[in-house]
Homo-oligomer: A and B are copies of this chain.
Amino acid sequence: MRSYKEIRGILQERITSQQWQPGDLLPSEQALSEEFGCTRSTVNRAMRELADAGLVERRRKAGTRVVQPKSHPATISIPVIRQEIENKDQSYKYLLLERLEALPPEDVRTQLGLEQNEKALFLKSLHYGDGIPQQLDVRWINISALPEASQESFADIGPNEWLLQRVPHPNIEHVFRADKATAEEQRLLQLQECEPVFTIERRTWISGQGITYVRLVHPGSRYRMATRSSAIPTFN
């Protein structure tokens, strides 16, 4: 008797080995359940997970087809910078550079969904690994959504970490860029002439309400973002 995992593995193998090619129709759940000697439910779960993984597409009545991918998937996990530094066995240091409540610029205001004259919390902080600057965090926080932020000094904990604890499961949008460093960035991050920065721009919100808008700026020579391993699963 075959488990859904075994079946999923067999089907995946037939697809990646191109025994079944993009566009090809897979046998119906009915047919496969007979082939594998199990119920349709079991096959259903196997095929559903392959669909979740993007290997096949399923449509009622039309059946299940192997997908012709049009792009390469990549899933990234962006840890809090302290984690990243400590994982490299470096000493972590955090420095708050600026903290004030002010009217954000227009673009940030709309990103956070604030009123015309609503103030937000502005934070600028720097994170070191072994005494070398690794990340500049320039951030606006919506204090209407998070009044506790006004009470927090951020002297001892980075805003990223603080927010991750306080608002654990927001919606997120990221933009990644390679930028020329501004003069300030060059000074703060101790960059060499012409050294670029790797920028992560992040916007988070919960049910339509903006939480934070941040630019995480990294020295190009000291930062890389990598996908854990393979994109195609590798399930469990």
Chain A contacts to B: CB under 8 angstroms? 15-18, 21-22, 52, 55, 66-80, 83, 164-165, 168-180, 194-199, 202, 206-207, 218, 220-221, 223-227, 229-232, 234
- Stoichiometry, as copies per complex, reads 2
Asked if A71 and B75 sit within 8 Å, CB to CB, the answer is no
Instruction: List 20 other contacts, CB 8 Å, given A70-B80, A74-B75.
Output: A18-B168, A66-B168, A68-B168, A69-B168, A70-B83, A71-B77, A74-B76, A171-B229, A172-B230, A173-B229, A174-B231, A176-B198, A176-B224, A176-B226, A177-B220, A178-B223, A179-B220, A180-B194, A180-B196, A196-B196
A164 contact set on B, CB distance < 8 A? 69-70, 72
Return A224 CB to nearest CB of chain B, in Å.
5
**24 A-B residue pairings within 8 Å (CB atoms):** A16-B169, A16-B206, A22-B165, A67-B168, A72-B79, A72-B174, A72-B202, A74-B76, A74-B77, A74-B172, A75-B75, A171-B230, A171-B231, A171-B234, A172-B227, A172-B231, A172-B232, A177-B224, A178-B178, A178-B196, A178-B197, A178-B220, A180-B194, A180-B196
